Amino acid sequence: MASQPARTTPDRQRVVSAWRPAVPGVVEVFHARFTAYAYPMHVHDAWTLLIVDTGAVRYELDRHEHGTPHDTVSLLPPHVPHNGSPVTEEGFRKRVLYLDATYLGDELIGAAVDRPDLRDPLLRRRVGQVHGALTRPGEELEAESRLTFIGERLRDHLRGETGRARPADPVLARRLRELLDERVVEGVGLREAAGLVGAHPAHLVRAFSTAYGIAPHQYLTSLRVGRARRLLLEGRPPGEVAVAAGFYDQSHLTRHFRKLVGVPPGSYRAAR
Examine the domain organization and report whether 37 and 140 are in the same domain: yes
**HEC readout, the chain:** CCCCCEEEEEECCEEEEEECCCCCCEEEEEEEEECCCCEEEECCCCEEEEEEEEECEEEEECCEEEECCCCEEEEECCCCCEEEEECCCCCEEEEEEEECCCCCCHHHHHHHHHCCEEECHHHHHHHHHHHHHHCCCCCHHHHHHHHHHHHHHHHHHHHCCCCCCCCCCHHHHHHHHHHHHHCCCCCCCHHHHHHHHCCCHHHHHHHHHHHHCCCHHHHHHHHHHHHHHHHHHCCCCHHHHHHHHCCCCHHHHHHHHHHHHCCCHHHHHHCC
pLDDT at 264: 94
pLDDT class of 1 with cuts at 50, 70, 90: very low
pLDDT at 36: 83
Q: Considering only 2-6, 57-61, 132-136, which range has the smallest mean pLDDT? A: 2-6
pLDDT tens readout for residues 128-171: 999 999 999 999 999 999 999 999 999 999 998 766 667 778 99
Examine the domain organization and report whether 124 and 187 are in the same domain: no
pLDDT at 43: 93
Residue 165 domain flag: no
Q: What percent of the chain is predicted at pLDDT more than 90?
A: 77
Residue 153 domain flag: yes
Examine the domain organization and report whether 122 and 208 are in the same domain: no
pLDDT at 272: 76
Residue 195 domain flag: yes
Examine the domain organization and report whether 21 and 127 are in the same domain: yes
pLDDT tens readout for residues 224-267: 999 999 999 999 999 999 999 999 999 999 999 999 999 999 99
Examine the domain organization and report whether 30 and 130 are in the same domain: yes
Q: Residue 182: pLDDT above 90?
A: yes
Examine the domain organization and report whether 206 and 263 are in the same domain: no
* pTM attached to this predicted model: 0.85
Examine the domain organization and report whether 12 and 56 are in the same domain: yes
Output the domain CATH number for residue 13: 2.60.120.10
Q: Residue 271: pLDDT above 90?
A: no
Examine the domain organization and report whether 39 and 111 are in the same domain: yes
pLDDT at 5: 57
Residue 1 domain flag: no
Output the domain CATH number for residue 263: 1.10.10.60
Examine the domain organization and report whether 43 and 121 are in the same domain: yes
Domain range enclosing 180:
170-213
Boundary residue ending a domain (159, 188, 204): 159
Residue 24 domain flag: yes
Q: Residue 10: pLDDT above 70?
A: no
Examine the domain organization and report whether 182 and 152 are in the same domain: no
Residue 147 domain flag: yes
Residue 53 domain flag: yes
- The domain tally of the chain equals 3
Examine the domain organization and report whether 253 and 206 are in the same domain: no
Examine the domain organization and report whether 57 and 97 are in the same domain: yes
